[in-house]
Every structure is written in structure tokens, then in C-alpha cells.
Amino acid sequence: MNSVSIPTMEPDRQYYFMNQCKTLVLEKKAALNRPLTYNIQTFGCQMNSHDSEKLKGIMDEIGYEEVDDEAADFVIFNTCTIRENANQKLYGHLGHVKTLKNKNKDMIVCLCGCMMQEPHVIETLKQKYKFVNIIFGTHNIYKLAELIYSYLETGKQTIEVLDETKQTVEQLPRKRKYTFKSGVNIMYGCNNFCTYCIVPYVRGREQSRKKEEILAEVEALAKQGISEVMLLGQNVNSYGNIYDYKDGKIVEVDEKDRVTFPQLLTEVCKIDGIKRVRFMTSHPKDLSDELIEVMAEEPKICKHLHLPVQSGSTNILTRMNRRYTKEQYLALVDRIRAKMPNISLTTDIIVGFPGETEEDFEDTLDIIRKVKYDQAFTFIYSKRTGTPAATMDNQVPEDVIKERFNRLLTLVNEISNAQIKRFADQVKPVLVEEVNHHDASLVTGRTEENVTVHFPGTADMIGTTVDVKLTDCKGFYFMGERIG
């Protein structure tokens, strides 16, 4: 390696390594006289899906061809660790990959994402999964090409897991799943430390991207034909509070330079070509009246809010460190609905948090009945080592949790089935996303409220917005017909 010519600045440095890898891949393809393939398995949230698009962009650039199957020359697992079963799932996949690697000795196995930020996972991988070749975490995914090159050069297990985001590099290739909609990171990390949650430990401290950088990215996307953007962050409502850390210390944002999330939204909506703006996720404690105002006034902002409640019991919410009460959450929902009566509200709920009594659980059922969510994602509490809740007294027995979970599911389904019916017979703009998987005479799209609609159409409609009458409610989705 000629160290003199390696650029030190990003993104030049990664483009340099992409080129180096490209040469090696070309040589290997010529030697084998066949293409080299890759497969990425993505677990977890929207952030990970977004990160995987970046990984795919780099893999394509290097010269690998994407395939659907794990039996590829290069497999990447972009992992999640939010619940224990996410970890178990990965070890299951690795067992399979080991048998594949016995057949294809040159196969490269790469692990990245949230699970890699846990030291005990790295120890297990080093000891029991020596066939894994490249490992990195959440803070350096932009370095994929550099790490591949290092592995190809040395043939040694290459591990680089950082404790914090030292640098973010966004100007790299990206392979988008859709040509008309895209996620855009506006912030990284989380400072909330909900007591059950591992995210602040694996994604690090909160950092907002500069407004100018975000707007430039959205403008570029709009020029490429993207009409819907989803602004991504663990807690978008605290956007703008912290931009950077220097030597472990927060760099204060001067009041006059501070950009709030609603201000950012307003600017994004001004960009020509952007027709719909979504965002995820909102923490109720930080959702301002300014945001409600902007959402209500700005037609481009989709009338859908994902507002995780987690529990309806103030006692449990306190133990979860959520920093709102049941009453405050309900008052917030009232303020939102006063301005946007038809808004779609979705949520996350955890059952069986340590110390949850039958009374606490009844409070959760009560808040669901009161809010009437369009959709609720329900989770059984999972003990994450290292979080404060893991060592709390009164862990709830499994059978009690199961029984509560079933009651919760019944109620949640009943309410979302009833809620979705309010759209029956309405004509709604629908952004067409794909040809229906089961019936090629239909296309599938979404309303701004995130309601899925299937209706007769053709592939050339993908990416366009058409008016559709929602004729027939089928539980969680609608059948419709195009108007005009």
C-alpha cells in the first residue's frame, strides 16, 4: 500500500479505497470467470434500512452484484439489538452462514450495526465465530470500503468498533430501494436514556446535522426525482439542540443560530419537487406547539404522527424515565387533534416492564381506548443488559406478560380496525409505490395518513400521486378505484 497517496480527508479517502477494492474484485472475477455477489440482511428500524442503502451503494461501486440469498460471495448482516430476540436471530443466521462458508471458502462475512456496539457480543464473535471476517459498529459505516480493503490485504479478522461518532460522511454512493421516496438522517444518537432502552448505549450521544447539509441533500434528492422524504432521527423533536462534540464536550449552539425541528420542516417543504414530508420518531416530551402549528398549516407534511407512548401508567412511565404523565400525553393528543382532527396516530407499547401491576396495565388499555390509535406496535419487555431496568426489582413473570400481551393485541386490533374505517368512501391522493405482489393488475400505494391502498393500475404509475376512492376496507388496508 502506498501510504503517500492515501487521502486523509473524507469522502476522498473512501473513494480511494473503493477504487482499490474495485481492482481486487475485478481480478477475482477474472480468476473465477464469474460475477461476485453480495447479500445484505437488514434487521431493525428505519435507521438501519437507511444505513443498508449506503452499504449497498458502496458494494455496487466496488463491483459486487446484489442477490436475494445469503449464499453469496459477500454477506453483510446489519444488526439490531433493541430486543433480545434480535440478537438470537443473528446467531441463527450465522449458523447457516457457517455451512455456506464450508462450501465457498472465499466467502466474506461481515457484521455491522447496533449489536456490534456491545462488548460482550464482540467477545463471543472473537471466540466462537472466527469465520466472521469484518466487524464494525454504528459510528463508522461509511468506512466499509476501507475495512474491506484492509481485510483483503491482510486476510485477518478486521474489527473496528468506535465508542462515539467522530465523523459523519454522507457524500458516498447510495442504492435506494425506491426511486421516488427516500429517508434522510437529520440527527444521530439519543440522549434520553429511557431505562429499558439500549439505543443510547449503541448509537451514542445525540448529534444534529447542520440545516444547510440536510437541505442540500434533500435538494439533490428532489433533482433526482424523489418526491417524498422521511426525516430520520431517534428523537426528531430535539433536533437542533446539539450539533457537535469536541473532546467529549458539547458544543453549545448559539441561540441566534439554533434551528428548531419545525423550522427545519418548513425549509424542507419549500424545496421544489418535494411533495410529501414525513418524519420519525417523535418523543412526546419534546413535541412542541410550534410543531403542531407547522404540521397543521403545511400541506406537504403528512398528517401522520408516530408518538410512542410505551405505557399508560404514570407510575411505569416514571420508572421508564419517559418524563411525561398519562395526563400530559392525553393533553398533547388533544392539542394535536384540535388542529388536525383526522390525523393518523401510531404508537409503540411495551408490556411487562418491571413492576407493572394489573392496575398499571389497565391504564395502558385505558390510554389506548382514549387515544384510539390507527396502529400500535406492541412489544414484550426485553431485558437488555447494561440498561437500568435490567436490574430493577419485580420483573414480571412470563405467563403474566403473555396473558396481558394477548389482551393488548385484541384491543389494539379492534381499535385500529374501527379507526381505519373513517376513511371509507373518501377520495385521497395516493403515492403509488409498487405493483401488487399478489395480483399484477393492481398497484399499491399510501395515503398521507400511511393507509395502504390497492387499486387497479399499471407499473408506469409507480412514483406518481393519483386520486383514489377508498371503496372497500379489508381490515388493515383498503381496496380502491382511481378517480379521474
If the CB atoms of residues 76 and 190 are measured against ligand SF4, the closer one turns out to be 190
CB of 200 to ligand SF4, least distance (A): 5
Is 190 marked within a binding site? yes
158 or 346: CB nearest ligand 5AD: 346
Omega of the bond leading into 11 within 30 degrees of 0 (cis) = yes
Residue with the shortest CB distance to ligand 5AD: 348
CB 107, CB 98: distance < 8 Å: no
* Range in contact with ligand SF4 (rule: CB under 6 A) among 161-169, 195-203, 224-232, 475-483: 195-203
The x, y and z cell numbers of residue 283, run together, are 418523543
Ramachandran class of 125: left when φ > 0, alpha when ψ lies in -120 to 50, beta otherwise: alpha
> Is 80 among the annotated ligand-binding positions?
yes
Tell me the C-alpha distance between 46 and 42, whole Å.
10
The footprint of ligand SF4 on residues 254-293 (CB under 6 A) is: 283
Q: Which residues have CB under 8 Å from 277's CB, separation 6+?
A: 228, 229, 231, 265, 268, 269, 298, 300, 301, 302
Window of 208-216, 374-382, 397-405, 449-457 that interacts with ligand 5AD by CB under 6 A: 374-382
- Please give the DSSP secondary-structure letter assigned to residue 476: S
Among residues 144 and 401, whose Cβ is nearest to ligand 5AD?
401
* 445-483 burial code (b ≥16 CB/10 A, e <16): bbbbbbbebbbebeeebbbebbebbbeebeeebbebebe
194 assigned to a ligand binding site: yes
182 binds ligand SF4 (CB under 6 A): no
Q: What would the grid cell of residue 438 be?
A: 399478489
Residue with C-alpha cell 414480571? Answer: 396
Q: Does 348 bind ligand 5AD (CB under 6 A)?
A: yes
C-alpha cell at 388: 437500568
Whether the CB-CB separation of 204 and 138 falls below 8 Å is answered with: yes
83 binding partner (options ligand 5AD, ligand SF4, none; Cβ < 5 to 8 Å by kind): ligand 5AD
> Is there binding between residue 377 and ligand SF4 (CB under 6 A)?
no
Q: Which is nearer to ligand 5AD, 58 or 350 (CB)?
A: 350
Closest contact distance (angstroms) between CB of 181 and ligand 5AD is 21
- Under the criterion CB under 6 A, does residue 57 sit at the interface with ligand SF4? no
Site for ligand 5AD in 376-405 (CB under 6 A): 379, 381-382, 384
* Pairing relationship of beta strands 65-66 and 37-42 according to DSSP bridges: parallel
Residue with cell 440522549: 191
Q: Is position 197 an interface residue for ligand 5AD (rule: CB under 6 A)?
A: yes
Which residues are known binding-site members for [4Fe-4S] cluster? 45, 80, 114, 190, 194, 197
